[in-house]
Structure 1
Amino acid sequence: MNYQGTQVLDHPVQRVWDALFDPTVLRQSIAGCESFERSSDTEFNSSVKVSIGPVSARFSSKVQMADVAPPFRCTLRFAGQGGVAGFGKGEARVTLVELGVDKTRLDWSAEAQVGGKIAQLGSRLIEGTVRKMSEDFFQRFAAQLASAAPGVTEAPAELVQESPSLRASLPYVLTLLAGAAALIWLLGR
């Protein structure tokens, strides 16, 4: 399954980037999120309760960041288990584009594979659920950005240093934490 989207946020690129990697902001932005924690500079673990049609389950997942070029792009690789409900795994690319001093376009794309009961539900039901989850995520994420967002912290220093290879491959990747996070962390669990 392939998903993609674009969201324009009325905030500077750095603020959006910082919020996308803040566990507190993400926990409050993802519907059904019970826990969302950073386990290392490049990994997050989460637990989310998700319902897709008649299937409801708690998904535990691990998200790993790769190809990080702050504050403009990142690739997120995810894998998760939902017990008898099934599993999900995939990759999302998030790209932030500065549209002005206080305006950022967040482009995201994700590829996911699901198995188990979830895969038996049919692509229309899954796609509809993913679309709704993504919309809900962006509404909540935008609200977090609009508030004082005291939980927003800077990305680890290790991620702020760009290497020449990351700069050269800068074209694509910030496809979501906001959209892909909703999509990846919710679909990938």
Structure 2
Amino acid sequence: MNLTGQQHLPVSQAQAWAALHDTALLQAALPGCEAITPAGDNAFDVLMTVAVGPVKARFQGRLQLSELMPPQSYRLSFEGAGDAAGHGKGQALVQLQAVAARDTVLSYDVTASVGGALALIGAPFVDTASQQLAQDFLARFHAALAAGPARDAA
């Protein structure tokens, strides 16, 4: 599965970078996310519930940030497993580009694969669920930035 997109954020590039490293904000913005906890240098454990077509499962996973170039980009590697639902892994390139003082474009390019029951239900279900999850996250992330204290930070 490949997923690409972008979102304008109503904050500076530095504020967007800080928000992408704020685990409380990310947990609130990510649908189904129950916990994001630090697990070492630029690593995080994640617990979330995800529904993909007829399969709904609680996933435990690990996120690892690498190739950090503050405040422009980083690579995110992820892997997780959800009981009998299956497993997934992949990576994403996340980039931030300042357009104006309070306008930053977040771009992402994700490559992922799934196995187990998730693979059996078919790529169309997985692709649709992934796209919906990304859209929901970006909408909630944008709303939090537009309303939150980061909007007023220097």
- Residue 5 of structure 1 corresponds to which residue in structure 2? 5
Distance, in Å, in 2 between the alignment partners of 1:149 and 1:83 is 38
Where 1:71 maps in the other structure, the secondary structure is coil
- Residue 67 of structure 2 corresponds to which residue in structure 1? 67
Q: Which amino acid aligns with 1:67?
A: E
Structure with the largest fraction of strand: 2
TM-score by length of 1: 0.77
- Residue 55 of structure 2 corresponds to which residue in structure 1? 55
Distance, in Å, in 2 between the alignment partners of 1:11 and 1:149 is 11
Residues 147, 40 of structure 1: alpha-carbon distance in 2 compared, 3 angstrom cutoff: farther
- Residue 94 of structure 1 corresponds to which residue in structure 2? 94
Of 138-147 and 49-58, deviating more is: 138-147
Q: What is the CA distance between 1:108 and its match in structure 2?
A: 0.4
Q: What is the CA distance between 1:40 and its match in structure 2?
A: 2.3
Task: Tell me the percent identity.
Answer: 35
Q: What is the CA distance between 1:128 and its match in structure 2?
A: 1.0
Q: Which amino acid aligns with 2:121?
A: L
Distance, in Å, in 2 between the alignment partners of 1:34 and 1:18 is 21
Q: What is the CA distance between 1:127 and its match in structure 2?
A: 1.1
Distance, in Å, in 2 between the alignment partners of 1:58 and 1:41 is 25
Distance, in Å, in 2 between the alignment partners of 1:140 and 1:108 is 16
| Gapped regions of structure 1 (runs ≥ 5) | 151-189
Q: Give the superposed CA RMSD.
A: 1.1
Where 2:148 maps in the other structure, the secondary structure is coil
Q: What is the CA distance between 1:70 and its match in structure 2?
A: 0.4
Where 2:118 maps in the other structure, the secondary structure is helix
Distance, in Å, in 1 between the alignment partners of 2:87 and 2:149 is 33
Task: Note the 1:95-174 alignment, pairs <5 A.
Answer: 95-149=95-149
Query: Are 1:21 and 2:21 counterparts?
Result: yes
| Gapped regions of structure 2 (runs ≥ 5) | none
Distance, in Å, in 2 between the alignment partners of 1:11 and 1:18 is 10
Where 1:40 maps in the other structure, the secondary structure is coil
Q: What is the CA distance between 1:143 and its match in structure 2?
A: 1.4
- Residue 33 of structure 1 corresponds to which residue in structure 2? 33
Distance, in Å, in 1 between the alignment partners of 2:40 and 2:147 is 27
